[in-house]
Amino acid sequence: MEETSELMRIRLAKAEAMRAAGQNPFANDFRVSHTLEDVRLSADATAPDMNSIDEGAVRYRVAGRVLAVNDMGKAAFVRLRDRSSTEANPVFQVYLKKDLLGEDAYDQFKAQVDQGDIVGAVGPVFRTRRGELSILVERFQLLTKAYRPLPDKWHGLTDKETRFRQRYADLIMGLDVREVFRIRAKIVSFIRRFLEDRGYMEVETPMLQAVAGGAAARPFETWHNALGIPLYLRIAPELYLKRLVVGGLERVYELNRNFRNEGMSQKHNPEFTMLEFYQAYATYEDLIALTQVMLSELCVAVHGRDTTEYAGHTISFAAPFARYTVREALTTIAGIDESQTGTLDGLRAAAAERGVHVDPKASYAKTLVFLFEELCEKKLLQPTFITRYPAEISPLSRKSDEDPEWVDRFELFIAGNEVANAFSELNDPVDQKARFEDQVAARAAGDDEAHPIDHDYIRALEYGMPPTAGQGIGIDRIAMLLTGRDSIREVIFFPHMRPEQFQSGTADGAPDSGTSGPTDDQG
């Protein structure tokens, strides 16, 4: 019988008492005229003291969640929070006086309202003796009874598991959390505007794909009953976006979710948000220029300046960003002799000298990139473009005109993380088919992340794709960077976690409701 806490039972009883008195504890007949911040902005300079309120003063109709109540018997301050609340102004207080509100209404307020409830209040503004802007309440209404009590008003929610599982409670209490997601929303809308201003069209391509291509990752697999076939959640939209470029759309972008069935960490969530954009008649060099402008303007849009603080470092988005080839990075950043970076034996020797274990079966291309990731990546704090990747590990990239062993590709690193990957697109269908076949061979040899062949994509290229450059940017990582968060879970509303085990019959009785938990023999 302890399924419902004492605190909740008391609140349920208060709602029942309201119903018995003909009142609705979940009313929806209150209209708001101003957010709490609107009130502050429109009245702050002019608010009179309580005894000087003009008869005809503006009446504000506000609503919000009750964060705290200071009850002084025949008067009370109620502190409200709404969508306009910020860390600078976390609550706005309204003042209830028994003589003004009326005895019945005031007694109802005291009998009905708890912290956490959502209420509406109407009245003129005034300034208290201590100088705080407040509303003198002439009408007060409980709009939504909260059955569950709020977390500690001083400490808020701190347990990360609870914060992520009950993001709603986290957002009620944590104005800094709201701010993170406001910045994230701003990032997304800025990028959309930025690309649309340059003639890009936003498109949506399949998330359920018969061939999960466009990247090297393990996909989630599902089953389509009607067609009787397996389908995969996309690991990237790349191949579909390029089909649209073949179709003549020339500048397209998609900003949406990808899914990868791989490990979770502070930097990886099974579903994550990726921007991909493609521009015909452009090269990866054009995208380098575009990316510098996009990111520095984005940073200014978010912070008002082109720098951001991350993990104790000031990251500057002032163009031009640093730029190295993979080999140059190994020389300049890891201190490997240039002569060693040109051969597999040289790379192996350099790795051995530094105590880095490399796969003895790995090719020159794989070893080169592996060593870059091991020795250089984490050191790239300021935005840095790394170019000239090996063709072998870039099956969708255009080979360099000067040297077909390399491709016209860059990755962008900031604060030690890869945030973008871009290249001039391979648009020769014969070459693309050959590269796919190499990948098929690699898969047969045990590389389960080798790219699967996509025959329809080859057919699309056979119609002719204009010379094109394309880029992917990890939006979650950009959001981490611009909000100073060290975990991807802090910038995703509902990060994936193992499902909670609920006891059957949670809130109110319903004894034989749940029990649907599989009673399996531990896996």
Partner RNA sequence: GGGCCGAUAGCUCAGUCGGUAGAGCAACGGACUUUUAAUCCGUGGGUCGACGGUUCGACUCCGUCUCGGCUCACCA
DSSP string, 436-479: HHHHHHHHHTT-TTSPPP-HHHHHHHHH-PPSEEEEEEEHHHHH
* 516 counts as binding RNA under rule CB under 7 A: no
Q: Nearest CA to 295 among 481, 468, 491, 484? A: 481
From first CA to last CA, the distance across the chain in angstroms is: 31
Window 461 to 500, contacts with RNA (CB under 7 A): 486-487, 489, 497-498
Closest contact distance (angstroms) between CB of 223 and RNA is 24
Piece in contact with RNA (CB under 7 A), picked from 180-188, 240-248, 262-270, 291-299: 262-270
Q: Nearest CA to 214 among 254, 184, 264? A: 254
Window 2 to 21, contacts with RNA (CB under 7 A): 2, 5-7, 10, 14
Of 22, 129, 360, 520, the one binding RNA by CB under 7 A: 129
User: Could you tell me where the DSSP H helices lie in 198-353?
Assistant: 238-246, 284-303, 326-332, 344-353
Residues 6+ positions from 46 with CB-CB distance below 8 Å? none
Closest contact distance (angstroms) between CB of 482 and RNA is 19
Q: Residue 124 CB: number of other CB atoms within 10 A?
A: 21
C-beta of residue 395 within 8 angstroms of C-beta of residue 447: no
Window 66 to 85, contacts with RNA (CB under 7 A): 68-75, 77, 79
Provide the 8-state DSSP code for 377.
Answer: G
Window 90 to 119, contacts with RNA (CB under 7 A): 93, 95, 97-99, 114-115
* 361 counts as binding RNA under rule CB under 7 A: no
The three-state secondary structure class of 62 is strand
Q: CA separation (Å) from 474 to 168, 202, 215, 419?
A: 25, 17, 13, 5
Closest contact distance (angstroms) between CB of 149 and RNA is 4
Piece in contact with RNA (CB under 7 A), picked from 36-44, 55-63, 145-153, 347-355: 145-153
Of 130, 223, 446, 511, the one binding RNA by CB under 7 A: 130
Closest contact distance (angstroms) between CB of 241 and RNA is 16
The three-state secondary structure class of 400 is coil
Q: Nearest CA to 62 among 162, 136, 167? A: 136
**Contact characters 435-454, RNA, x per CB under 7 A:** --------------x-----
Of 22, 28, 31, 51, the one binding RNA by CB under 7 A: 51
Q: Which is nearer to RNA, 2 or 401 (CB)?
A: 2
d(CA 304, CA 318): 13
Piece in contact with RNA (CB under 7 A), picked from 36-44, 156-164, 292-300, 308-316: 156-164
Of 33, 222, 266, 363, the one binding RNA by CB under 7 A: 266
Closest contact distance (angstroms) between CB of 77 and RNA is 4
* 249 counts as binding RNA under rule CB under 7 A: no
C-beta of residue 67 within 8 angstroms of C-beta of residue 91: yes
Q: Which is nearer to RNA, 302 or 326 (CB)?
A: 326
Closest contact distance (angstroms) between CB of 510 and RNA is 17
